[in-house]
A = this chain, B = another copy of it.
Amino acid sequence: MKAQMSDISKAEFEVLEALWQQHPVAASEIILRLNETKPWHEKTVKTLLNRLVKKQAVSFIKEQRRYLYSPLFEREDYTNEASQSLIERMFSGRVSPLVAGFAKNKRLKKEDVQALKSFIDQWEQEHE
């Protein structure tokens, strides 16, 4: 049963973040990395790693008695799928209402606007 990327939980996602930063990497290393920002118990992280392996989101190779873990898909693929899924559920699949909310709440930054402009240019060029 290949898991959809979308049933990665929030906590599991944080673990994946650490793996995307660097891999393959041992559990101890992941724990250190995560503990820079989260107060998670070592055991908790190991549980999450195990669940990710079961969900086929993470693989490992044995290096002596330890495992070295790696993510099985790209961060970008996951975040894109998650975005799409949310936008499908709440905005009928269209991204502009989401951006509208951002604009309305003054959360649009200068860099966002700049980036958006360039996406638009790009898009218009492709659609001549």
Contacts and interface: CB of A to CB of B under 8 A. Distances in A.
Nearest to A104: B80
A86 B82 contact: yes
B120 A117 contact: yes
Number of chain copies forming the complex = 2
A98 B98 contact: yes
Contacts of A83: 86, 90, 98, 101-102
Contacts of A110: 127
Contact of A111 (B13, B79, B96, B107): B96
Nearest to A96: B115
Contacts of A100: 115, 119
5 contacts: A80-B105, A82-B90, A83-B101, A96-B112, A99-B116
